[in-house]
A = this chain, B = another copy of it.
Amino acid sequence: MENPTGRNSRDAILDAATKIAQAHGYGGLNLRALAEQVGIKAASLYHHFPSKADLATAVARRYWEDAAAGLDALTSRTPDPTERLRKYPGTFRKALENDNRMCLCSFMTAESDDLPGTVMSEIERFNEVNVDWLGKTLLEAGVVGSRDAKKRAHAIFAAVAGAQLMARGRSDIKLYDTLIKSYQAAGLLPPP
């Protein structure tokens, strides 16, 4: 094997691009800076991805795939659906723990007017994955009936994304925790 670690330069590019996009968005993803971080020249990026749009599409796809895997793992590891709902905000907390970054998809949702369509599709997939998981879990937990599961799932997703955004703006992860607690106290999320 030429590459025993399995970490090829394509993955290194995706990793670095993800972190940059989580802090600066699609527009702020500078290919020269990205290339420097990976140790190559900007022109060399085009050997791995046909364009910035394609690179960002790959980044966003891998992002929701990882999110889906993480939610699956949470489901396996936590049999009680109510407990899973309590843990859900922890998945959005990770980005803040990671140098005050935010969800790639929230950032790019703001940028939707300037986003290539292929990127936007992957962003929408991320939202779907989260809302579907939440809806399923809400139903299983008996928090809402089947008529309201999807609506409530959407509401929780939007509220959690908003909390992450605000906490990032203040670089204050404690604000995120406070907001989640307020959501629980108000009844949007199941109380601890």
Is there an interface contact between B168 and A23, defined as CB atoms closer than 8 Å? no
Interface centre among A23, A148, A169 (most CB of B within 10 A): A169
Is there an interface contact between B112 and A169, defined as CB atoms closer than 8 Å? yes
How far does the Cβ of A123 sit from chain B's closest Cβ, in whole Å?
7
Is there an interface contact between B28 and A111, defined as CB atoms closer than 8 Å? yes
Known contacts A151-B178, A182-B154, A23 near B113 by CB under 8 Å:
yes
Whether A68 sits at the interface, judged by CB under 8 Å, is no
* Copies of this chain, tallied across the complex: 2
Whether A165 sits at the interface, judged by CB under 8 Å, is yes
- A160, closest chain B residue (CB): B162
Count A-side interface residues using an 8 Å CB cutoff: 46
Known contacts A110-B110, A162-B161, A155 near B183 by CB under 8 Å:
yes
Is there an interface contact between B152 and A182, defined as CB atoms closer than 8 Å? yes
Is there an interface contact between B169 and A182, defined as CB atoms closer than 8 Å? no
Q: CB-CB contacts of A103-117 with B at 8 A, as 1s and 0s?
A: 000110111111000
Whether A75 sits at the interface, judged by CB under 8 Å, is no
Is there an interface contact between B159 and A188, defined as CB atoms closer than 8 Å? yes
Whether A67 sits at the interface, judged by CB under 8 Å, is no
**Interface of chain A residues 36 through 57 with chain B (CB within 8 A):** none
Query: Besides A155-B183, A158-B162, A160-B162, 12 other CB < 8 A contacts?
Result: A24-B114, A28-B111, A109-B165, A109-B168, A127-B166, A148-B182, A151-B178, A152-B186, A158-B163, A158-B165, A161-B165, A187-B188
